[in-house]
Amino acid sequence: MPTLFDSTQLGSLTLNNRIFMPPLTRCRADTDGVQGEHAAEYYAQRASAGLIIAEATQVSALGKGYINTPGIYTQQQTTAWKTITDTVHQKGGTIFCQLWHVGRISHTSLLPAGKQPLAPSAIQAQAQTFTANGPENVSLPRAMTLEDIQTTIQDFKHAAQCAKDAGFDGIEIHAANGYLIDQFIRDKTNQRDDQYGGSAENRARLLLEVFDAVNEIWPVESIGVRFAPTITFNDIEDSDPLGTFSYIYEQLHHRKAVYLHVCEGAAGISESSEEGKAILKQLRKAWPGFYIVNGSYDLQGGQDVLTSGYADAVSYGRPFIANPDLPERLKQNAKLNTPDPSSFYGGDTKGYTDYPALEQV
């Protein structure tokens, strides 16, 4: 049986272990979405992860939903990311870019010329986001036109090209946690009556068209997708998650996506209920490919899901924030640094690059 510390094959990539770093929003980019000066050090410190999936990165100015999050659609942004990927590669690491559009989880103050956020339907979320004024209720979105949808698909394709130019090893499409693609997938937020609404097949259309568009830039062995089928974070829900996501998993298997990365719940995000956990186990049967789990896993829990065959790798969020050398700490069963939530979102090097490695303790 594989252990967390065994190497694994992901497409054409050989990864050093099965302890992955998931996307972790840190809000340390500038107002133009360009990564900060300490980001390269931050990611390089964590290069011993089997795979780093970089923080959620917006594909356009209209895809932004939080203050100081990075983008991957301008030359300046791309150049900043290239410095990061080069540094990670010099440390022997592997890094994917997560492509993100927040949809309705945004605020007019964060968008160009105070525009309304975009969404499948004009339904305001019962949620908040972070702006220059601190936490604020998200703004009322407008329903996307067919032209908006096609523009957004091209935004994902352009961002995928920028990610390739920036030296990433692959990309992850963010289709989880109540953001734009998830809003199209789930029937609570998608009340359209055109080809992008109604049936599960129609609600999945945007995701699959985005996948096909970025596949024109990247081979399928370099494209993963993140989901959270049973999570209600950001006021999201589906009346039949088993049916909806079974269809999507099957379509992505047909397209030979390199992995699925499934969020089962974590601190700060709603946990799956017992019913939800049962649905996740049923959904797992619809996906025969590489499967990454994310949740409140510790060392033993992570090993258990590998031993049972339920997962092929485990992504650890908060532990990686506070422990840059997490794989080595887990291997030695050493004490972990305690993360400081007050420094998670925004700030300087405190709580970002100053957590000590085991050898420094």
pLDDT digits (tens), the chain, 361 positions: 899 999 999 999 999 999 999 999 999 999 999 999 999 999 999 999 999 999 999 999 999 999 999 999 999 999 999 999 999 999 999 999 999 999 999 999 999 999 999 999 999 999 999 999 999 999 999 999 999 999 999 999 999 999 999 999 999 999 999 999 999 999 999 999 999 999 999 999 999 999 999 999 999 999 999 999 999 999 999 999 999 999 999 999 999 999 999 999 866 677 778 888 899 999 999 999 999 999 989 999 999 999 999 999 999 999 999 999 999 999 999 999 999 999 999 999 999 999 999 988 7
- Taking alpha carbons only, the member of 297, 272, 293 closest to residue 284 is 293
What is residue 267's predicted lDDT score, i.e. its pLDDT?
61
What is residue 18's predicted lDDT score, i.e. its pLDDT?
98
CATH fourth-level superfamily of 8-360: Aldolase class I (3.20.20.70)
User: Which residues carry out catalysis?
Assistant: 179
Give Cα separations from 70 to 80, 101, 159, 273, 346 (angstroms).
10, 12, 12, 32, 12
What is residue 274's predicted lDDT score, i.e. its pLDDT?
84
